[in-house]
Amino acid sequence: MKAAVLKAFGSPLAIESVPAPALGTGEVIVDVAATRVLAYAKEVFSGERQYLLGLPAIPGPGAVGRVRAVGPDAAHLATGDWVYCDPTVRSRDDVVAPDILLQGWTARSDGSLRLQKHFRHGSFAEQMRVPTENAVRIGTLDEAAAASWCALGTLLVPYGGLAAVKLAAGEAVLINGATGAFGSAGVAVALAMGASRVIATGRNGRALEDLARRFGDRVRTVKMLGNEEDDRARIQRAAPEPIDCVLDLLPPAATASQVRTAVLAVRPHGRVVLMGGVGMSDAGGLDLPYSWLMRNCITLRGQWMYARDAIARMVGLIRAGLVKLDDFHFTTFGLDDANEAVAHAADNAGPFRMTVIRP
């Protein structure tokens, strides 16, 4: 089969013929119909992000495709089913604290690095092999719609955070970094989950205006100017009601102060979820006031990806028309042009924009 192979960090992807994956028990082979290229794929492949991916590898986190073959343990999946290949592979032999591997992308713990030896290759290929539980049925779809269904990968991340802090219908939520790819998807998801209000922060005024125009009165935008206290005061003035939950999705380049601006805006007894890349490059802390956390009974948690049932819920929100895939504008490339796709994704980052490879 044809695949795009990363042989060394800093070298272009090599488009070549490689052996097709072999099916084992507990696994599924999927024909990849479409796979998203993240805006920061270029930083991962250059080595700048220092993601741990054993090379050579076929990169690519997640895909939309059709089941080609199932192992003997498949109880429901059948050949031809449309599935989302969830890149979030978990170690099956530690139910209490499973390691998380992002297949075709990165690993963090010793356990996930061991797992990566087997489930290393990702979706920039005609076929991929995933654990049975990672091929999640998404219902019937038209072949032509496969690219737009790649938005699942973007939508699922903020959904995972909002579900982790149990966002309830009628609550007000602050999305910090709402002008980014995942943050803007977070605005759409929070509204679909029934948030009464979404406070959307960012520095990019045009992107904020676009969010306000797209989503109307339930969204209040606040431009971040870089002074922590002032920015927080403007957030609180923009929110007609106390902020129940905060979701942070800022990138590695953002500072702890930018995160604190949002975190400290949550109401007493509020919940905060951190999902961004902040501190990745310098391993820095947040310096949150101990007594503020304690006296206000604040719940603060991190979230990497999402729970396994999130995919079915997100598909439900899409199928019900509560989240609109039409909101996403996408540009497609063939596998032969994978390097062009990576460059395009970097140059065309931002809200509701996707770069997709169709192998």
Ligand X SMILES: NC(=O)c1ccc[n+]([C@@H]2O[C@H](COP(=O)([O-])OP(=O)(O)OC[C@H]3O[C@@H](n4cnc5c(N)ncnc54)[C@H](OP(=O)(O)O)[C@@H]3O)[C@@H](O)[C@H]2O)c1
Q: Which stretch binds ligand X (CB under 6 A): 72-80, 179-187, 291-299, 311-319?
A: 179-187
Work out which of 111, 180, 270, 359 binds ligand X, going by CB under 6 A. 180
Based on the shown chain and the rule CB under 6 A, indicate whether residue 286 belongs to the binding site for ligand X: no
Given the complex with ligand X, which of 11 and 281 has the nearer CB atom? 281
List the 219-223 sheet strands across, edge first. Answer: 219-223, 197-202, 172-176, 245-248, 271-274, 299-302
Q: Which stretch binds ligand X (CB under 6 A): 29-37, 50-58, 104-112, 301-309?
A: 301-309
Based on the shown chain and the rule CB under 6 A, indicate whether residue 39 belongs to the binding site for ligand X: yes
Do 163 and 298 form a contact (C-beta atoms < 8 A)? Answer: no
Given the complex with ligand X, which of 58 and 181 has the nearer CB atom? 181
Q: Which stretch binds ligand X (CB under 6 A): 133-141, 181-189, 316-324, 332-340?
A: 181-189
Q: Could you tell me how many residues of this chain bind ligand X (CB under 6 A)?
A: 26
Choose among 119, 120, 146, 145: nearest CA to 132: 119
Given the complex with ligand X, which of 19 and 285 has the nearer CB atom? 285
Taking CB atoms, the residue at the shortest distance from ligand X is 180
> First-to-last CA distance in the chain?
10
Given the complex with ligand X, which of 82 and 215 has the nearer CB atom? 215
Shortest separation between residue 296's beta carbon and ligand X, angstroms: 24
Only one residue has tokens 């996408």, namely 330
Q: What is the CA radius of gyration of the chain?
A: 20
Work out which of 60, 251, 270, 359 binds ligand X, going by CB under 6 A. 251
Residues forming beta bridges with residue 195, ordered by sequence position:
none
Given the complex with ligand X, which of 28 and 275 has the nearer CB atom? 275
Backbone angles phi, psi at 245, to 5 degrees: -135, 150
Choose among 131, 127, 120, 119: nearest CA to 30: 127
Backbone angles phi, psi at 349, to 5 degrees: -75, 165
Shortest separation between residue 74's beta carbon and ligand X, angstroms: 27
Based on the shown chain and the rule CB under 6 A, indicate whether residue 21 belongs to the binding site for ligand X: no
Based on the shown chain and the rule CB under 6 A, indicate whether residue 242 belongs to the binding site for ligand X: no
DSSP string, 221-285: EEE--S-HHHHHHHHHHH-SS---EEEE---TTS-HHHHHHHHTTSPTT-EEEE-S-TTTTT---
Shortest separation between residue 18's beta carbon and ligand X, angstroms: 27
**How many Å apart are CA 68 and CA 30, to the nearest integer?**
5
Binding site for ligand X (CB under 6 A): 39, 157, 177, 179-183, 202-204, 207, 249-254, 258, 275-277, 303-305, 349
